[in-house]
Amino acid sequence: MKRALFGIAVLLVCLIAIPSLAVNSQSTKVCVGNLCYKVVSFDSADDTCAPIVVNENIDGWVFAVETVPDSEAAPTADWDATITDASGIDIMGGALADRSTSATEMARPELPDSTPVERPTLGVLTVNVTNAGDGAGTIKIWWKTPERVY
């Protein structure tokens, strides 16, 4: 009887978790030489989107981020995204604010004076999407890994 109740409890937990996994998804990391990218998809409901923790370490230098609004369920105009490191710092320096509702856009990490830079990262990053209404889209993070010395 205890095993049956435990099995039912596990099944309920899985059924509750599956919808949240389907809403925000991630591709596997793709690397060619020392250039890598990872695609994170988001789906905002009623202007709320839970933070998406990237499920692989991004170790290297982030040099660009591409935002692609969904063509059928586009985010609202001027939606925003941040990508934060373990310390809570936006590695893009605010460059992902006010994104287009229809066009694919690319941004580079910025210093406070808006100078574009390659941002060093080590570890897990978190993607945060706000002001997107009921919209969806993808965010592609591009980075360079350190070149290996043999």
pLDDT tens-digit profile, the chain (150 residues)? 544 433 444 333 333 332 333 356 777 788 888 888 889 988 887 667 888 888 888 999 999 999 999 999 999 999 999 999 999 999 999 999 999 999 999 999 999 888 999 999 999 999 999 999 889 999 999 999 887 544
Residues with Cβ within 8 Å of residue 92, at least 6 apart in sequence = 62, 65, 81, 82, 83, 107, 109, 110, 119
Residue 110 neighbours by CB distance under 10 Å: 18
127 vs 108: CA distance, rounded Å:
15
- Which fold does the domain 26-144 belong to in CATH? Jelly Rolls (2.60.120)
Query: Is the pTM value of this prediction over 0.85?
Result: no
